[in-house]
Amino acid sequence: MLSQVDKGQAKQHEDLAIDLLRRAVEMWRRGGVGLSEIEAIRWDPALRVLAGRSEFQKLLAEKGLE
């Protein structure tokens, strides 16, 4: 949301969001409990603004727990 409101710092806000999402996936992988964090991120409409970012696409392409 910040990247849409604060256009001057949009990239910084998006970078921070992607970093936090990456951390959430790492924590989910360590715990291995509950629904796939990757799927939750994939279907969250608030995160669609990140869809064009290669880092975000890479995060979604990662495998879940095997």
Q: What is the pLDDT of residues 49-66, one digit of tens each?
A: 999 999 999 999 876 544
Cα distances (angstroms) measured from residue 27 to each of 6, 8, 47, 50: 29, 31, 19, 21
Q: Is the pLDDT assigned to residue 33 strictly greater than 70?
A: yes
Look up tokens 């995160």; give the residue: 47
Q: Which residue has the higher pLDDT, 7 or 51?
A: 51
Residue 66 pLDDT: 42
Give the three-class secondary structure for 1.
Answer: coil
Instruction: Round the average pLDDT of the chain to a whole number and report it.
Output: 85
Q: Give pTM, 2 decimals.
A: 0.80
pLDDT, mean of residues 3-25: 86
